[in-house]
Structure 1
Amino acid sequence: MIDTPHHWWLTALLALVLFGDAVMSFRPPVFIQRCLDGVRLPRDWWWALIAVKLLAAAGLVVGLRFPGVAFATNIAVIGYFLCAAYAHLRARFLKQEFWLNCLGMLAFSVAVLVVGYVV
């Protein structure tokens, strides 16, 4: 069975970043608005991204105590950012927001999984 992460602080940092992203999304700054508008996500659905990020942050924190939860949540976060990358590619919105926000968070999420459970 997958245990808790070897480097708990990386999982906690990912949870903090996702929580901060969710909080910023309540009144999204321009770079988040450009990103969501660029992939043509209707503004009526922006709340769903906040909920997903808050639940992911909670799952990562809970997973620091309960085996397997952080691992499963980390996989889900990677899936979320893969879907975001696909949305960017499909909308042909490959500006700075794609490279920094989307792919940056995808790379960070993958790094947390690899370093947290493999190394």
Structure 2
Amino acid sequence: MSVLTSPKTYTALALFQAGDAVACAVPLAPIEKALNGVNFPLEYRWILVGSKAAAAIGLISVTRNPALARLTTAMLALYFTLAVSAHIKAHDKPQNAAPAVLFLALFAAMTAKGPDCES
């Protein structure tokens, strides 16, 4: 069992996604600043709350439905591909795009490996 395939990692990331959904719903100032920095339209920001909440549910399902958890990591890899693209398109500073790049790499690797409880 590796860190990438551990159900505990999926659970921790589910909690992170749930917290991020709440932070986007509020919205917290750093998140609002980041979204403004990549010119993400205000009228579509509600989509982030729903997609992050759905991601939390998909990740937490890892022991009951490993295929759904793996699909969720694939969708998160797509999400972070779009985020990296938005940073590039906005000519954002590399340090602002770094978290999106790291999450893209993480979720792509998790998708490739799949969870340990997958049959």
Same fold by TM-score greater than 0.5: yes
The answer on 1:88 being equivalent to 2:87 is yes
State the secondary structure of the residue aligned to 2:82: helix
RMSD of the TM alignment (CA)?
2.2
Deviation of the 1:26 alpha carbon: 1.3
Change beyond 3 A, Cα 1:97–1:66:
same
Asked if structure 1 preserves the Cα contact closer than 8 Å seen for 2:58 and 2:69, the reply is yes
Q: How many residues align?
A: 113
**Structure 1 CA distance for aligned equivalents of residues 96 and 86 of structure 2:** 12
The answer on 1:38 being equivalent to 2:37 is yes
Note the residue ranges of structure 1 that are not aligned, 5 or more in a row: none
Q: RCO higher in 1 or 2 (8 Å CA, sep ≥ 6)?
A: 1
Deviation of the 1:110 alpha carbon: 3.6
Change beyond 3 A, Cα 1:88–1:49:
same
**Structure 1 CA distance for aligned equivalents of residues 94 and 106 of structure 2:** 19
**Amino acid aligned to 1:105:** F
TM-score by length of 2: 0.81
Question: Identity, % of aligned pairs?
Answer: 31
Asked if structure 2 preserves the Cα contact closer than 8 Å seen for 1:11 and 1:116, the reply is no
Matched with 2:48 is 49
CA deviations 1:86-112 (Å, max 9, x no partner) are 111011122533223x22332343454
**Amino acid aligned to 1:78:** A
**Structure 1 CA distance for aligned equivalents of residues 36 and 44 of structure 2:** 11
**Structure 2 CA distance for aligned equivalents of residues 97 and 23 of structure 1:** 21
Q: Which stretch of the first structure deviates more once superposed, 11-20 or 58-67?
A: 58-67
After TM superposition, the structure 1 = structure 2 runs for residues 1-119 of structure 1, keeping only pairs within 5 Å, are 6-100=5-99, 102-113=100-111, 117=115
Change beyond 3 A, Cα 1:6–1:89:
closer
Note the residue ranges of structure 2 that are not aligned, 5 or more in a row: none
State the secondary structure of the residue aligned to 1:68: helix
Asked if structure 2 preserves the Cα contact closer than 8 Å seen for 1:7 and 1:115, the reply is no
Asked if structure 1 preserves the Cα contact closer than 8 Å seen for 2:7 and 2:115, the reply is no
Change beyond 3 A, Cα 1:92–1:98:
same
